[in-house]
Structure 1
Amino acid sequence: MSVCFPPVFRLEFSRLPHNQELPASFRDCSTPIELRTLIEKVDHPLVKICIDPLNSITLLHGINETFSQLKDHIVSAHVKDVKMERKGSGFQIYGCPLGEGISSVTSYLENVYVANPKSNVFIEQWMDACNSPEDTLVEEKKWVTDGILFLKNSISHLTNTTDKRI
């Protein structure tokens, strides 16, 4: 079961007990504090957070604020990178390969690890389509391959591992 928080917060529940009712206010969370409060009200071990370093910016909440409010509930994390450029009177944010943008990916991963060393980490790419589907697939594969290597280098000191499968 998924509960959506447009445009920022989304919780996913895999096995809530049948008698567990979710409050209607789940649809109205728009700040990290509101989401944390709601998770604590539900108080169920399956209600946790997949944190994302950039989704909260659409509601003008930075990752540091979001992280500080939700860190005790993190079980997984998206990792991605972006570039930002001035456009007219505003800014445009667009995806880029991990390590090539403005996100502090390594410190973000360190914070996730400290919050919950057993957290899963998922590479998420914001990549625009290329001129053809074939070119897009080639570029996506490159981004993912390079992202996995970047991720491996970014977390190896946290886990003190030399395991080549990571």
Structure 2
Amino acid sequence: MAKKMKLGLHTYTLHLWGLGQNWGIVAEPRPKAMNLIQLMDKAVEWGLDGLHITGCDLETKDDGRLAQVKAAAQTRNLYLEYNFSRDEAFDPRLTDPIADGIRIAQKLGADLAKISLDIRRPRPLYGSCFHPTVMAQLCTVYDEVKAALPLVERTGIRLALENHTETFADEILWLIAQIDHPLVGACVDTVNSMAVLENPEAAVNKLAPYAFCNHFCDHKLDRDQFGIRFHGVALGDGDIDCLKVYKTICKVSPTDRITFEIEWDMGADSLEVAREKEMDACIRSIAYARDVLGIGR
């Protein structure tokens, strides 16, 4: 019998609405056109099962706010996953020491905390897997996660190490093998490997068996006379074989959740127009997940 999957939303899908993360914006963050509680209501309206949230969505990380978010999610029967970074370059609201990220996840009622490793790679990016400069950083991550394992065990929070935009799949697998703990696994992002010129399908095949969670994305590769550009689109509109990737995750991953994410680029549009296009892509992605992938059917 095929595994029955739940469908969740990574809040970055609506980043132009002020949710998820202000990727690439170091100055003043975008104003929020929608807050986390309003998004929860949308999630219920759309028939979603949960949300993958960040410190940007929380706005503050004090105990009162975390309790409020936990209660709001429980009232709406939504699961939560907490997404944080070790050293986010563009949006420091996402940065937490590992122990703090675990505690925040616990207080939110989340069962999982996803970590971006924020490795700073040497150039050229291609062919730099396990470069000495990278290995020194991976060893630091190893030390930090090992130090947090007693807290992981006390809370039962699973840690998912992501193949973020600066990490090869084999580096994540190396860390998981060295840490060697049942509560430490992967987050497989279906497009991030392109940022280090790694085949995205190959990365999914490697990481999915260890992946407690996922960022299920589609990107489109455009070519012009100046080169190529890989940018986010609604599920099914890009060059990722979403159905094939979905079947792989269903078959070999220990998760029963698909967390979709859209990395919409506003391009030359005004913020107002781009927001509406991003929202449309979100709604179309939910329909694709239901009608094509069969999630929740």
Query: TM-score when scaled to structure 2?
Result: 0.44
- Which of 126, 134, 150 in structure 2 is aligned with 1:17? 150
Q: Which residue is 1:98 aligned to? A: 235
Q: Which residue is 1:126 aligned to? A: 263
> 1:18: Cα distance to partner?
4.5
1:46 corresponds to 2:179: no
Deviates more, 1:141-150 or 1:116-125: 116-125
Letter matched to residue 127 of structure 1: W
Match of 2:248, SS? Answer: helix
Inter-partner Cα distance in structure 1 for 2:218 and 2:205: 20
> 1:17: Cα distance to partner?
1.8
1:55 corresponds to 2:192: yes
Could you report, residue by residue, the CA deviation over 1:25-81 in whole angstroms, capped at 9, with x for unpaired residues?
Answer: xxxx84322321220110122221111111111212112321232222111121222
* Aligned CA distance change for structure 1 residues 117 and 34 (closer, same or farther; 3 Å): closer
Could you report, residue by residue, the CA deviation over 1:116-141 in whole angstroms, capped at 9, with x for unpaired residues?
Answer: 26342222112122633322222121
* Aligned CA distance change for structure 1 residues 73 and 100 (closer, same or farther; 3 Å): same
Q: Which residue is 1:26 aligned to? A: none
Letter matched to residue 90 of structure 1: G
Deviates more, 1:106-115 or 1:54-63: 54-63
Asked if the contact 1:74–1:119 (Cα under 8 Å) also holds between the matched residues in 2, the reply is no
Q: Percent identity?
A: 22
Asked if the contact 2:232–2:264 (Cα under 8 Å) also holds between the matched residues in 1, the reply is yes
Q: Which residue is 2:206 aligned to? A: 69
- Which of 114, 119, 137 in structure 2 is aligned with 1:5? 119
Letter matched to residue 277 of structure 2: E
Inter-partner Cα distance in structure 2 for 1:75 and 1:154: 23
* Aligned CA distance change for structure 1 residues 31 and 127 (closer, same or farther; 3 Å): closer
Asked if the contact 2:210–2:254 (Cα under 8 Å) also holds between the matched residues in 1, the reply is no
Q: Which residue is 1:25 aligned to? A: none
1:88 corresponds to 2:197: no
Q: Which residue is 2:55 aligned to? A: none
Mark the runs of 5 or more structure 1 residues left unpaired by the alignment: 21-28
Letter matched to residue 91 of structure 1: I
> 1:19: Cα distance to partner?
9.6
Could you report, residue by residue, the CA deviation over 1:97-119 in whole angstroms, capped at 9, with x for unpaired residues?
Answer: 21111110111111011012634
Inter-partner Cα distance in structure 1 for 2:182 and 2:175: 13
Inter-partner Cα distance in structure 1 for 2:180 and 2:292: 33
> 1:88: Cα distance to partner?
3.4
- Which of 254, 257, 277 in structure 2 is aligned with 1:139? 277
Match of 1:92, SS? Answer: strand
Inter-partner Cα distance in structure 2 for 1:59 and 1:69: 15
* Aligned CA distance change for structure 1 residues 117 and 41 (closer, same or farther; 3 Å): closer
